[in-house]
Amino acid sequence: MLSLAALTALLPELAGRTRPRNGMMVRAMPVARVRDPLAKTKTKWPRNRLNIDDGARMLYLGSDFLTCADESLVTLVPMWTVAFAPVEYQLEAVLDLTSPDIQTRLQTTDRELTDNFRSVAAHEHTATQLLGEALAASGRFDGIYYASAARAGGHCLAVILDALEPLGGVLRVFDRRNGIDEQRP
């Protein structure tokens, strides 16, 4: 992975290589958060694959329920009861980390992108966390699409929440049966 200075210099070029992306993916969350599926009231943001503790506010989605379940075993406390919600999304500036061209520009590999972020001490940061924080801080990206580290063939999308409104992105969870109709921004 590039140094932080080199990455920062590359951000304008990367922003020019983003693409709109829309569809439906799945979010896993502790059952206690089921009435806030898009994390509108969440105040503490723990570290994850692409963000550091109390850093960029990102919502992580999986390409399907199985990918989401496998990813949640890596990122959530395993003993929590987990709920799943389908999330419709329409994003305007998604960086695709599965693209060989993007990986070459970032000087990274699939292995580096799927390293276990929990294997480093909480005060240290992985290459993917630094990448995610830099992308979020730039204000030019509203999503990061990447291969699942937990499920072969699965994909994930980290939605940069603070970029949704400025870039025109939208997230929505609609569950008529349970009376949930949430949208961000």
Q: What is the mean pLDDT of residues 114-124?
A: 78
For 160-176, letters b (16+ CB in 10 Å) and e give bbebbeebebbbbbeee
Element (H, E) at 27: strand 19-30
Highest mean pLDDT among 55-59, 81-85, 118-122, 175-179: 55-59
Contact 22, 127 (CB under 8 A): no
pTM above threshold 0.75: yes
Q: What is the mean pLDDT of residues 21-40?
A: 90
User: How many residues would you count in the chain?
Assistant: 185
Distance CA 7, CA 141 (A): 14
Ranges of each domain in the chain = 19-164+172-184
